[in-house]
Amino acid sequence: MSGDSLAGKVALITGGASGMGAATVRAFVGAGASVTLIDRDGTGARRVADETAAAVVVGDVSDADFCDGTVDALVATHGCVDVLVNAAGVIHRADARGTTDDDWRRVMSVNVDGVFYMSRAAVRHMVPRRSGSIVNFGSIWGGVGAAGVLAYCASKGAVHQLTRAMALDHADDGVRINAVAPGEVDTPMLASGRDTPPTDADLAQLAEETIPVKRLAQPDEVARVVLFLASDEASYMTGAVVPVDGGFTAR
């Protein structure tokens, strides 16, 4: 892919303060996009912005008014929003018995509501221009089950279906909507929420035992797929959920 594949494009990336979201910010800036990142973590967001010259908006995507206002302000400043990447996400590690109402609602409000609110706000501006691309972050756990992450699995399955349904709604509007479905990626989320934080050796063993390519993904490997889906090089792709999982779901 050319180094200027998003040259002149205006992009909005949620969850851009760390992990795959931050890697996507770096990839998009490197491809020539004007990037604004959103995150609740203002310190982390500003750190990424300092590295990349991206703009920062601090806030919570589970708030519909915040999403509408942020997208409207971006369009007022730049004239449009060409690309939205919904990378913000949270995880709760528990079965049903260990998932409280608040736990369930928080996972769903960020992982599902946030994707919906941001996407709804973006397509309001994309459809009249008959141009735009949205890339959502799903997960392998949105397509297959996993023990101990009930709410997360349910939320990512919803993201996959939201992606497909919105893609069909806007297939004739010039707006493409796709998703990536990462596997195990070396990010802070992978180690978070566990009773005992895993060591590097633990993570290496996890990869050896569960991933066909025998290693964890690096965030930039996922970001490159997001960049492709967002760009005109994926012009005939919409409604796709693309695994980036080292062969995990091929089995």
Tell me whether residue 190 is exposed, middle or buried, using C-beta atoms within 10 angstroms of its C-beta: 0 to 12, 13 to 18, 19 or more.
Answer: middle
Is beta strand 83-86 parallel, antiparallel or unpaired with respect to 241-244? Answer: unpaired
**Residue 101, in any domain of the structure:** yes
CA pair distance 94, 50, nearest whole angstrom: 36
Q: Are the C-beta atoms of residues 187 and 20 closer than 8 Å to each other?
A: yes
Active site residue 236: no
Give me the pLDDT at residue 200, please: 86
Of 196, 212, 193, 215, nearest to 204 by C-alpha is 215
**Residue 203, in any domain of the structure:** no
Q: Which residues contact 164 (CB under 8 A, 6 or more apart)?
A: 239, 241
Q: Which residues contact 120 (CB under 8 A, 6 or more apart)?
A: 67
- Map tokens 């998009």 to a residue: 28
CATH of the domain at 113: 3.40.50.720
Of 115, 111, 108, 88, nearest to 18 by C-alpha is 88
pTM above 0.85, yes or no: yes
**Residue 150, in any domain of the structure:** yes
Using CA atoms of 209, 215, 219, 221 in order, give the dihedral in degrees to the nearest 10.
Answer: -120
Q: Tell how far CA 94 is from the center of its chain.
A: 22
CA pair distance 223, 225, nearest whole angstrom: 5
Helices 150-169 and 114-129, axial angle in degrees (round to 10): 10
Give me the pLDDT at residue 193, please: 65
**Residue 213, in any domain of the structure:** no
Q: Are the C-beta atoms of residues 170 and 123 closer than 8 Å to each other?
A: yes
Q: Are the C-beta atoms of residues 86 and 136 closer than 8 Å to each other?
A: yes
Q: Tell how far CA 18 is from the center of its chain.
A: 11
**Residue 181, in any domain of the structure:** yes
Catalytic member of 137, 152, 228, 248: 152
Q: Tell how far CA 5 is from the center of its chain.
A: 19
Q: How many domains does the chain have?
A: 1
Which token pair is 84? 């939205």
**Residue 166, in any domain of the structure:** yes
**Residue 20, in any domain of the structure:** yes
CA pair distance 72, 211, nearest whole angstrom: 42
The pLDDT tens digits along the chain (251 residues) read: 657 899 999 999 999 999 999 999 999 999 999 999 999 999 999 999 999 999 999 999 999 999 999 999 999 999 999 999 999 999 999 999 999 999 999 999 999 999 999 999 999 999 999 999 999 999 999 999 999 999 999 999 999 999 999 999 999 999 999 999 999 999 887 777 667 788 889 889 989 999 999 999 999 999 999 999 999 999 999 999 999 999 999 98
CA pair distance 119, 125, nearest whole angstrom: 10
Give me the pLDDT at residue 54, please: 98
Give me the pLDDT at residue 2, please: 58
**Residue 194, in any domain of the structure:** no
Domain residues for the domain of 16 are: 10-185+218-243
